[in-house]
Amino acid sequence: RDKQGRACRIAGSQADIHDERIAIEQMRHYSLHDRLTGLPNRALFVDHLNMALSRWRREPRSMFAVVLLDLDRFKTINDSLGHDLGDELLVEAADRLRGAVREIDTIARLGGDEFALLLESLESHEQALATIDRINASLAQPFVLGGRTVYSSCSVGICLSSRGYVRGDELMRDADIALYRAKATKASVVLFARPMHEHAIARLEIETEMRLAMDERSFALAYQPIVDVSSERIVGFEVLARWNHATLGAISPSKFIPIAEETGLIHELGEWVLRRACEQRVYWASQGVDPELYVSVNISSRQLLGSRFVETVQGVLDQSGVDPQSVRLELTESALIESSTRALHVLTQLRALGLCLCLDDFGTGYSSLSYLHRYPIDVLKIDRSFVSQLETAGNSVLVDTILSLGRHLEKTVVAEGVETKAQLASLRELACGFAQGFYFSHPLDADAADRALALALPPARMSARK
The residue ranges that bind ligand C2E (CB under 6 A) are 224, 240-241, 252-254, 257, 270, 273, 298-300, 330, 360-361, 384, 417-419, 437-438, 443
Residue 40 binds: one of Ca ion, ligand C2E, none (C-beta under 5 to 8 A by kind): none
Nearer to Ca ion, 203 or 328 (CB): 328
Nearer to ligand C2E, 174 or 360 (CB): 360
CB of 186 to Ca ion, least distance (A): 21
Angle at 360 between CA 362 and CA 357, to 5 degrees: 120
Angstrom distance (rounded) from CA 340 to CA 294 = 27
CB 238 within 8 A of CB 272: no
> How many Cα atoms sit within 13 Å of 19 on the Cβ side?
6
Identify the CA nearest to 90 among candidates 102, 107, 104: 107
Among 105, 271, 330, 333, binds Ca ion (CB under 5 A): 330
CB 359 within 8 A of CB 333: yes
- Find the DSSP H helices in 166-238: 168-185, 194-216
Asked if 261 touches Ca ion (CB under 5 A), the answer is no
Asked if 361 touches Ca ion (CB under 5 A), the answer is yes
Residue 304 binds: one of ligand C2E, Ca ion, none (C-beta under 5 to 8 A by kind): none
Nearer to ligand C2E, 156 or 359 (CB): 359
CB of 217 to ligand C2E, least distance (A): 15
Residue span 398-417 as binding mask against Ca ion, x where in contact by CB under 5 A, dash where not:
------------------x-
Asked if 298 touches Ca ion (CB under 5 A), the answer is yes
Asked if 426 touches Ca ion (CB under 5 A), the answer is no
Nearer to Ca ion, 78 or 332 (CB): 332
Nearer to ligand C2E, 175 or 331 (CB): 331
Nearer to ligand C2E, 86 or 306 (CB): 306
Angstrom distance (rounded) from CA 71 to CA 318 = 42
Angstrom distance (rounded) from CA 431 to CA 449 = 27
Residue 419 binds: one of ligand C2E, Ca ion, none (C-beta under 5 to 8 A by kind): ligand C2E
How long is the chain? 466
Q: For residue 179, what are the contacts with CB-CB under 8 A and spacing of at least 6?
A: 68, 69, 70, 155, 156, 157, 190
